[in-house]
Amino acid sequence: MKDRGLLLLAIFGNVVTAWSWFGVNMLGIGLHSYGFMDAAFKWLVLFNASQVTLLLLGALPLHLWRSFQQSTPATLPPTEGGRKPSPAPGAA
């Protein structure tokens, strides 16, 4: 697994942890239902939506990422008479 895969798994781990901690409380039954988590549902959904958005962005092909796009070399403007400028002395 490469760096990008590890990144995506870490983000997915956030989703699993959020549902494990807060989702169980929202069931309303059982030993871990504390009864004060009704208002947290909206925030849990928003958090998970943000994490899924990051997962989708991270899963985009690399050629769509700005940091992996090929940059075009800067072109020098033509000099008088349309000649190309000569390279600087000592430049190879």
At 44 the pLDDT is 83
Q: What is the pTM of this model?
A: 0.60
At 29 the pLDDT is 67
Task: For residues 47 and 55, give the distance between their C-alpha atoms in angstroms, rounded to a whole number.
Answer: 12
Domain locations in the chain?
A: 3-58
pLDDT top residue among 17 and 81: 17
Looking at residue 42, its amino acid is: K
Task: For residues 44 and 20, give the distance between their C-alpha atoms in angstroms, rounded to a whole number.
Answer: 11
Residue 36: pLDDT above 80? no
Question: What average pLDDT does this structure show over 9-34?
Answer: 78
Q: Residue 76 — pLDDT band, cuts 50, 70, 90?
A: low
Task: For residues 36 and 22, give the distance between their C-alpha atoms in angstroms, rounded to a whole number.
Answer: 11
* pLDDT tens digits, one per residue of 40-53: 778 888 999 999 99
